[in-house]
Amino acid sequence: MGLSLVPVAELPPGRRFLRLGTEGRDVHELQKSLARLGFFPGNPHGRYDFFTREAVKNFQRAFYLVADGVVGPRTWRMLREPGIWNRLCHPFQAGETLTELAARYGVTPGAWKDPAGRRRVKRLLPGDLLLLERRELWLAEEELPEEGVFCTRVLRMEPVTAGQTGEFAPVGSGLRRVKVHKKAHDFFKLPLLKVLPPRAVTGKEEAGGVVADLRNTGERKPGWRFQRNIRKGLRALRQNSRGEVFWWFAAGNKQEELPKDGEAEGILLSVNTGPWLAGGSRGSGGLLAGSSMDGGWRREVKNLLARYPCTRVMIHFDLQGREIRPDGEVRLLPAGSSRALRLFQPGRRQRLADGWLQLQTKYGEKEHKFLIADRNTLRKIFSGLDRLNLRGVLLTGIQGLEGAIMKEAAQFFLVLSQARS
């Protein structure tokens, strides 16, 4: 069989590097995609000019790639990510106002941005493009309020252990038969959690997704790797799942093993649970530096985005109140205690960098600290989520904050009506 030679200008997208001066079919397809996303002004013409280079740089900045203006393998890969289409671009018409547009979509005027720089708009002219980004909001099923809070998906906290040869998962879990070699049985016993659309909770069962909980697979040191059988089991999980699969990690550990293409659709990262809350060195005010309360989670996520697409990252915040006792022990507070502390705010008050409210009170000779989440906390979470351009957020421990969730989210993005399928 002979070889077929294709002119360079006719190469399909992704087969070569594109830079200033390049021409061809792949440049034309690149410009079409960037125009649909709101980065490229004008009509595609197939020449990699200065406008194309600036559009590529803006795309790379928006999705946390190296902004060098050169379209290489990582940029091509990101252009194929389904998550980049969370952008709703609207051409501003004469006679329209931001207030009217915001009311139409159920957001505040500040949620609309300039598509190129992802910054809030200050002045608008007819014909200008406006950007509204859409993100996912997950809630725990047992905390789902009857009304007032809309979410994209519901996480059902009923673990199912995979890895038992020939075992069927419960109906509605999104799993078919999970087959793992018998020798892997003792190694692969990871809890699986079901993720369902909210309407499934109301009685209409639909295939959702699966979350593989990897937070308690032992202490992870630098260079840590999954045992071979665990990785094999995770691949089998993906092959046998009808819905999306996510790997759940805890922040503060080295995520040396991230899912590859075909192994999972994304990861869920807990940023203020377990040792991450109390890890690191002591900072001002007695709070342990490096925790989610002083912005440490953003540094962790930024490091992660150097190796994993932002469009596949979900973050998890547990908003349940906490008590830090004099001996350093952290205790979770009941929902009623958190509400009372949020309402009356006894003792000395301090607003921490990431919006958490720290209360300090004395019982006898000992001083107790309480960390309470409120609307300011939600605002900081949604602001960080928006700035890092992540897929979405899972919120747990929301009792007492149900009425504030949608109002604060609407300042930054539109909550997706349903998760991508």
What digits encode the pLDDT tens for the residues 243-256? 899 999 887 655 56
Distance from chain centroid for Cα 95 = 36
Q: What is the DSSP letter of 93?
A: P
- Strand, helix or coil at 140? strand
Contact residues for 364 (Cβ-Cβ < 8 A; gap 6+): none
Pairing, β 191-196 against β 209-213: antiparallel
Cα–Cα dist 312/391, whole Å: 6
Cα–Cα dist 355/263, whole Å: 35
CA angle 389, 390, 392 (to 5 degrees): 130
Select from 99, 210, 145, 221 the least CA-distant residue to 403.
Answer: 145
Q: Please list the pLDDT of the chain residue by residue as tens digits (421 residues).
A: 456 677 888 888 989 999 999 999 999 999 999 999 999 998 999 999 999 999 999 999 999 999 999 999 999 999 999 999 999 999 999 999 999 999 999 999 999 999 999 999 888 899 999 999 999 999 998 888 877 678 899 998 777 655 433 333 443 333 444 444 444 444 456 788 999 888 644 455 556 789 998 887 554 554 455 667 778 888 888 888 888 999 998 876 555 688 988 899 999 999 876 433 433 333 333 344 334 555 678 888 999 999 999 999 999 999 999 998 888 888 889 988 988 999 898 889 999 888 899 999 887 778 889 999 999 999 999 999 999 999 999 999 998 898 899 999 999 999 987 434 3
89-119: b (≥16 Cβ within 10 Å) or e: ebebeeeeebeebbeeeebbeebbbbbbebe
Domains annotated for the chain, with CATH where assigned, are 8-80 (1.10.101.10), 84-134 (3.10.350), 139-415 (no CATH)
Tell me, what amino acid is at 51?
F
What digits encode the pLDDT tens for the residues 95-126? 999 999 999 999 999 999 999 999 998 888 99
213 Rama sector, left if φ>0, alpha if ψ -120 to 50, beta otherwise: beta
* Residue 181 neighbours by CB distance under 10 Å: 14
Cα–Cα dist 417/374, whole Å: 25
pTM attached to this predicted model: 0.86
